[in-house]
Amino acid sequence: MSDTHSPNDFDPAEPNTSEEYDPVDVAADSADADLRPGADSCYKCSTCDTTCPVAEVDDDFPGPKFQGPEQWRLKRREDEQTIDDSVMSCSNCMRCDGACPSGVPLSEMHNTARGEYVDEQMSKTSVEYWRNRILANYRTSAWLASKVPRLASFAMNFGPARWAMEKTLGVTSERDFPEFATETFREWWERRGAAAESRRRAREARSRLDEPVDGDKKVAYFHGCYSNYNTPEVGKAMVRVYEHFGYEVVVPEQRCSGTPMFANGMVDDARRHAEVNVSSMADLVDRGYDAIASCTSCSMALRQEYPELFDIEGIDDVAARTFESVEYLRIHEDLRGELAAADIEGDLAEEFAYHAPCHARNQGLERQAVELFGELDEVTVTDVGDSCSGISGTYGWKAEKYDTSMEIGDEMFDHMEATEGETGMTECPTCAMQMEHGTGYEIRHPLELLEAALVA
């Protein structure tokens, strides 16, 4: 017979006798228990699995539900449970985050699991570890390349070198490496006069706009690695467009946002970079600046991944005051009105095939370029649909992931080719690489179109 109490044993009128009693510890292992909100909210609807671009094309990938809540539960029940190596096949596109109706913090769980897998289970002498570490620390390679940009651009696309890189490191030789700029964005910024020159130009613009010349429109630009080393024209467009609206721009000390490090489970590397970024941005936020990023993965890292994964002083204030560059102007300026009155000529007066990066979707920004540029008569911006581009930063650069990456991108390539023009548009530099690689189109950033339309 069971020794459990029958409901009839319960006497709600039992008096409190004030007798001594031993407290019952209902969470004996609470120091280890993961009590974060949402971890137990998964009710196995599988919606996240149906939105995962990797699971759609790779039958061996078990999908976000397994990577997140299921693996979490297994680990909580069984100390010896290890992380399944399939977590390294998640591209960290973060689409599953937005899909879950129950608010399960899927990408946070994936990032944590991937970090644990790399720390505790991945061999530190394996080729895969070092290949991933080199790819994740792109900033270091790009910094070196920027010292001899022409030579680096040639060497990185020299056939035999690429063949050797694929054979020894597993970096695909199918893709062209992006060119390195002969002058980085930061070099241009310093040569131009840095913050003092930006203040002068912003004051001139405020005077033209009939705004108080001593106003407090000021932003701190997080340019990220790619705008600095490869596409400084995006950073320059950001500065000129913001100054056009009377904003003083500063360019603080910064490191990589950490996006490629999260995707490769290099959480300690990401933390080191985040500490520098948060420290310099927090000082400026304290002084009334807002943080602006032109890459949607960088703004995503500062807004979501940093506060989810790190405890760094000032991180919540920085996260709350970080914006994507066009989003910020949409909030604070009459961007649509300005564009409606603008003319555009030359090679940007054409039809763009626009791809919204997954990380833009996560921030609710997937329609902004299409809606905004609808005001420009000479330009058409066609949304190429909601599929993932497939490259996901370093993912599509791995030889063993290249085919999967291209299969995911197929739908986007088809839709791009169905547009009239031969120019693409996106906010993410690696989506831009994939768009160019799959179609041969030239790819532009929305800031470049804004600059062409608004800045004389």
Binding site for ligand SF4 (CB under 6 A): 42-48, 52, 54, 64-65, 67-69, 90-96, 99-100, 102, 104, 106-107, 110
Q: Is-contact 306 269, C-beta < 8 A?
A: no
- State the minimum distance, in angstroms, from the CB of residue 332 to ligand SF4: 31
Query: Could you tell me the two tokens for 207?
Result: 């005077």
Name which of 54 and 406 has its Cβ closer to ligand SF4: 54
Q: CB neighbours (10 Å) of residue 359? A: 29
Q: What are the angstrom distances between the C-alpha of 221 and each of 80, 168, 251, 291, 323?
A: 45, 38, 5, 6, 10
State the minimum distance, in angstroms, from the CB of residue 39 to ligand SF4: 10
Provide CB contacts within 8 A for 446, sequence distance 6+. Answer: 326, 368, 369, 372, 373, 425, 427
Least separation, in Å, of the C-beta of 274 and ligand SF4? Answer: 19
Least separation, in Å, of the C-beta of 435 and ligand SF4?
A: 19
Cβ proximity to ligand SF4, 177 vs 306, nearer residue: 306
Contact 424, 418 (CB under 8 A): no
Closest CB to ligand SF4 among residues 95, 139: 95
Smallest gap from Cβ 99 to ligand SF4, in A, equals: 6
Tell me the two tokens of residue 324. 């994507």
In the complex with ligand SF4, the residue whose CB is nearer, 75 or 336, is: 75
The nearest distance, CB 315 to ligand SF4, in angstroms, is: 22
Sign of CA dihedral 364, 222, 139, 425: positive
Least separation in angstroms between CB 109 and ligand SF4: 9
Nearer to ligand SF4, 359 or 437 (CB): 359
Contact 445, 237 (CB under 8 A): yes
Residue closer to ligand SF4 by CB (options 65, 321) is: 65
Amino acid 448 reads: E
Q: Is the CB of 38 or the CB of 421 nearer to ligand SF4?
A: 38
Work out how close the CB of 91 gets to ligand SF4 at its nearest, in angstroms, rounded to a whole number.
4
* Minimum CB distance to ligand SF4, residue 90 (Å): 3
E strand residue ranges, 344-453:
351-354, 380-383, 423-425, 442-444
Nearer to ligand SF4, 326 or 358 (CB): 358
Q: How far is 202 from 204, CA to CA, in rounded Å?
A: 5
Distance CA(361)–CA(366), nearest Å, equals 5
Q: Which two tokens stand for residue 124?
A: 């530190």
Q: How far, in Å, CA of 217 to CA of 34, rounded?
A: 42
The order of strands in the sheet holding 380-383 is 380-383, 351-354, 423-425, 442-444
Q: Which is nearer to ligand SF4, 62 or 232 (CB)?
A: 62
For 120-186, the DSSP string reads HTS-TTSHHHHHHHHHHTHHHHHHHHTTSHHHHHHHHT-HHHHHHHHHHH-B-SSSPPPPPPSS-HH
